[in-house]
Structure 1
Amino acid sequence: MIELEEETIITMAWLMIASAIVVFAALRFGLTAGYGRYTNTARLGISPRLAWFIQEAPSFFIPFYYLFNGTSNSGHYLTRVFLLHYFNRVFIFPFKIRSTTVSPLYIMLSAIFFCCYNGFMQGYWNAFYQPEEGALTARHYIGSLLFFYGMYINHKADRILFNLRAPGETGYKIPEGWLYEHISCPNYFGEIVEWTGYAIMAWNLPALAFAIFTASNIGPRAISHHAWYKEKFPEYPPHRKALIPFLL
């Protein structure tokens, strides 16, 4: 088993925060993530279901390994919460995907790298360096509430998107109902809320780094999706925001 000093994991977290700044700037000011509706079909790619399963799997299996090899009881709880999200992402979500657009190989490989990096950082920190906390505090309750509420938003928003297409149907439609009446990407909004709650629960730098990276990565993507909807559908509701109801 790999043995690393606490300072090494802290350095990994700072590197993730630095990369989050780069990713945010790239996505916000020119670069478009080349998957889904933005895929260049000329690029080498594979089935989106298979790609999603492969790229997300390290985020489940690496922390799962450390769940049985760590010493921190508080960290074990955090890892279980982390695994709850990725169980859905690895074993349920991919098999609901109806898109037939291939996933570019370079996107999948970059996602594999990130999921290995983050899965190891979260799992290792939680296993060995998360401080023990004898009693629950307001921070734990607030963080848990945000985490599970964000998960609920994320799952419900995904269900609405999946149900837009009938079996065998292709093309894009305007999602309607629930939070989609207010924002274009409630699935992204829910995920940001979810990992913000996780960072509050954990109160450590690796969890904060992941929350920052999540917002920096999918926040600009939500803005791009919103602009795409408005360009593709002239009748797109003008009052909708991109990511945060009534604000952004």
Structure 2
Amino acid sequence: MTRVPDTAFGWLVALEIALAVVTFVALCFIVAPYGRHNRGGWGPTVPSRVGWVVMESPASILFLVFYLLGEHRAELVPLIFLALWQLHYVQRAFVYPFLMRGGGRMPVSVMAMAMLFNLLNTWINARWISEYGSYATSWLADPRFLVGVLVFLAGFALNIGSDRILRRLRRPGSSGYSIPQGGGFRYVSSPNYLGEMIEWIGWAVATWSPAGLAFALYTVANLAPRAVSNHRWYRQTFDDYPPERRALIPFIV
């Protein structure tokens, strides 16, 4: 039987959904100052590699800690969800930063905000899958689980493949930008963001949970405006940028 979440859990889920709305509105007017959009005026900075490890590692480490607090922690379906989560965040926190090329920097303020969000997000998702949710082994045959996991893995593959294309554009030690080609870049300017959005939509479907829905909404709210900003930057920077390429959704946006 599914345990009824406590009141605090419900408020934290609502908080994440509210943050998604605020984030989307804010990012429609302000471009987060990291990567190609890095600029001064946002306080002290750290090397981008350090920033990524510090802000993303709690989503892996603390998720495991919170997960282990749940009474369903040894059950098969929650363990699969744990593996999917760690597939993304171990790569994002402990692999991706060390594959980065270039010597960019990240504002400490951006890093700190990401850490706070990850603390909230890992708590509600880990607690749902190992404590409040109830996933019998029969959930493995449920269409929501099957479709959700396939969507998650497809998004993960698109995200990783797109990052690889971006990384190969830079020679070791260089810091310039050029037009990415191939893979999802044939259709959109930010297939890496599209892949991550697909991942967490898949997670929301597979877990069929309020926590998963809140995370999917926040991911779209955070990355969709960023993708539009990237698209605008590419068009302004490169005169020969492919005119048929869209910002985020092939043939549409």
TM range (shorter): over 0.9
Contact preservation (8 Å) 1:53, 1:94? yes
Return the alpha-carbon distance in structure 1 between the equivalents of residues 135 and 156 of structure 2. 25
* Aligned equivalent of 2:34: 35
**5 and 202 in structure 1: CA distance in 2 versus 1, 3 angstrom threshold:** closer
Q: Which segments of structure 1 move beyond 4 Å, counting only runs of 4 or more?
A: none
Q: How far did residue 131 of structure 1 move?
A: 1.5
SS in 2 for 1:46: strand
* Aligned equivalent of 1:238: 243
* Aligned equivalent of 1:216: 221
Q: Does 1:131 align with 2:134?
A: yes
SS in 1 for 2:137: coil
Structure 2 counterparts to residues 1-248 of structure 1, below 5 A? 5-28=5-28, 30-41=29-40, 43-72=43-72, 73=75, 74-135=77-138, 136-248=141-253
Contact preservation (8 Å) 2:227, 2:248? yes
Q: What letter corresponds to residue 238 of structure 2 in structure 1?
A: F
Q: How far did residue 69 of structure 1 move?
A: 3.0
Q: How far did residue 103 of structure 1 move?
A: 0.5
Contact preservation (8 Å) 2:102, 2:172? no
Return the alpha-carbon distance in structure 1 between the equivalents of residues 211 and 80 of structure 2. 15
Q: What letter corresponds to residue 166 of structure 2 in structure 1?
A: L
Return the alpha-carbon distance in structure 2 between the equivalents of residues 180 and 91 of structure 1. 25
Aligned residues: 244
Residue segments in structure 1 that go unaligned for 5+ positions in a row: none
TM-score with structure 1 setting the length: 0.94
Q: What letter corresponds to residue 232 of structure 1 in structure 2?
A: T
Larger displacement relative to structure 2 (148-157 or 167-176)? 167-176
SS in 2 for 1:92: helix
Return the alpha-carbon distance in structure 2 between the equivalents of residues 145 and 14 of structure 1. 27
1:46-102 superposed Cα distances (whole Å, 9 cap, x missing partner): 111011000001100111113333222233332221111101011100101113121
Contact preservation (8 Å) 1:143, 1:201? yes
Residue segments in structure 2 that go unaligned for 5+ positions in a row: none
TM-score with structure 2 setting the length: 0.92
Name the % identity.
35
Larger displacement relative to structure 2 (216-225 or 167-176)? 167-176
Return the alpha-carbon distance in structure 1 between the equivalents of residues 5 and 197 of structure 2. 29
Return the alpha-carbon distance in structure 2 between the equivalents of residues 114 and 66 of structure 1. 15
1:192-225 superposed Cα distances (whole Å, 9 cap, x missing partner): 1100000000001011000000000001100000
SS in 2 for 1:171: coil
Return the alpha-carbon distance in structure 2 between the equivalents of residues 235 and 34 of structure 1. 25
- Over aligned residue pairs, what C-alpha RMSD do you find? 1.4
Return the alpha-carbon distance in structure 2 between the equivalents of residues 50 and 79 of structure 1. 25
Return the alpha-carbon distance in structure 2 between the equivalents of residues 32 and 109 of structure 1. 17
Q: How far did residue 5 of structure 1 move?
A: 5.0
